[in-house]
Chain A
Amino acid sequence: MTNQDSLLVVSSSPHLHSPDSVPAAMRDVLIALVPALIAAVYYFRLPAVMVILACVVSAWLAELACLKVMKKGTTTGELSAVVTGLLLAFCLPPTLPPWMAVLGSVFAIVVAKHLFGGLGHNIFNPALIGRAFLLASFPVAMTTWVTPIDAVTTASPLGIMKEAGGRQLPGIADLFLGNVSGSLGETSALALLIGGLYLLYRKHIDWRIPVSYLGTVFALTSIVASVKGNGMWYPVFHLLAGGLFLGAFFMATDWVTSPVTKAGRIIFGVGAGIFVVLIRLKGGYPEGVCYSILLMNVATPLIDRYTKARVFGGVKSHA
Chain B
Amino acid sequence: MRKASFKGGIHPHGYKELTSGKVTVPARVPDKVYIPLSQHIGAPCASLVLAGDRVGKGQKIGEGKGFVTAPIHASVSGTVSAVELREHPGGSFVNCVVIENDGKEEWAETVKPHKSPAALDSEQLRKIIFEAGIVGMGGATFPSHVKYSPVEGKRAEVVILNGIECEPYLTADHRLMVEKPDRIVAGLCYIMRSVCCGRGVIAVEDNKMDAVNLLEKAAAGEGGITVHVLKEKYPQGSEKQLIYACTGKQVPVGKLPLDVGVIVNNVGTAVAVAEAVEKGIPLIERYITVSGDGVREPSNYLVRVGTLFKDLIAQSGGYAGNVEKIIAGGLMMGKAVFSDEVPVVKGSSGVVVIRNDAKREFREYGCVRCAKCVDVCPMFLEPTSLVKLAKMGAWEEAEKFHVTSCIECGSCVYGCPAHIPLVQYVRRAKQAVLAAKAKEKK
Which A residues have a C-beta under 8 Å from some C-beta of B? 1-4, 6, 8-18, 20-22, 24-25, 75-76, 80, 118-121, 204, 206, 255-262, 308-315, 318
Contacts and interface: CB of A to CB of B under 8 A. Distances in A.
Contacts, number: 172
Q: Which 7 A-B pairs have the closest CB atoms?
A: A14-B410, A260-B371, A12-B424, A309-B380, A16-B331, A255-B370, A20-B417
27 contacts: A6-B322, A8-B339, A11-B325, A11-B336, A12-B427, A13-B335, A13-B336, A13-B408, A15-B327, A16-B414, A76-B368, A118-B366, A120-B367, A120-B368, A255-B371, A260-B374, A260-B384, A261-B371, A261-B374, A261-B382, A309-B374, A309-B380, A311-B253, A311-B402, A311-B405, A312-B244, A314-B405
Nearest to B244: A312
B369 A260 contact: yes
Given A9-B336, A14-B410, A313 B255 contact: yes
B94 interface: no
B318 A3 contact: yes
Contacts of B340: 1-2, 8
A1 to B, nearest CB: 5
Contacts of B418: 21-22, 76, 120
A204 B369 CA distance: 12
A119 B418 CA distance: 11
Contacts of B338: 8, 10
Interface of B: 10, 12, 91, 168, 240, 244, 250-253, 255, 310, 313-314, 318-319, 322-327, 331-340, 352, 354, 356, 360-362, 365-372, 374-375, 378-382, 384-385, 400-402, 405, 408, 410, 413-419, 421, 423-424, 427
B333 A17 contact: no
Contact of B12 (A11, A12, A16): A16
A53 B219 CA distance: 70
Contacts of A310: 380
Chain A contact residues, majority secondary structure: loop
B325 A14 contact: no
Contacts of A258: 369
Contact of B410 (A13, A21, A256, A257): A13
Nearest to B325: A9
Contact of B253 (A20, A256, A314): A314
A10 B318 contact: no
Chain B contact residues, majority secondary structure: loop
A313 B332 contact: no
Given A8-B338, A260-B369, A311 B384 contact: no
B400 A14 contact: no
Given A12-B423, A16-B168, A311 B339 contact: no
Contacts of A21: 361, 365, 417-419
Nearest to A118: B366
A92 B33 CA distance: 74
Contacts of B352: 15
Contact of B251 (A13, A25, A75, A313): A313
Nearest to B319: A3
A119 B368 contact: yes
A273 B262 CA distance: 47
A318 B421 contact: no
Given A6-B322, A13-B332, A255-B368, 7 more contacts: A9-B324, A10-B325, A15-B332, A259-B371, A312-B405, A314-B253, A318-B400
A229 B372 CA distance: 44
Contacts of A257: 369
A17 B419 contact: yes
B88 to A, nearest CB: 14
A14 B415 contact: no
A14 B423 contact: yes
Given A10-B336, A15-B334, A311-B381, A22 B323 contact: no
B361 A260 contact: no
A14 B314 contact: no
Contact of B414 (A1, A14, A204, A259): A14
A13 B333 contact: yes
Contacts of B421: 11-12
A250 B250 CA distance: 37
A18 B415 contact: yes
Given A9-B324, A14-B332, A15-B354, A255 B427 contact: no
A82 to B, nearest CB: 15
A108 B357 CA distance: 40
Contacts of A13: 327, 331-336, 408, 410, 423
A204 B370 CA distance: 8
A258 B331 CA distance: 32
A308 B397 CA distance: 14
B295 to A, nearest CB: 12
Contacts of A314: 252-253, 380, 402, 405
Contacts of A119: 366, 368
A308 B253 contact: no
Contacts of A260: 369, 371, 374, 382, 384-385
Contacts of B314: 1
Contact of A15 (B319, B336, B371): B336
A309 B374 CA distance: 9
Contacts of B323: 2-4, 8
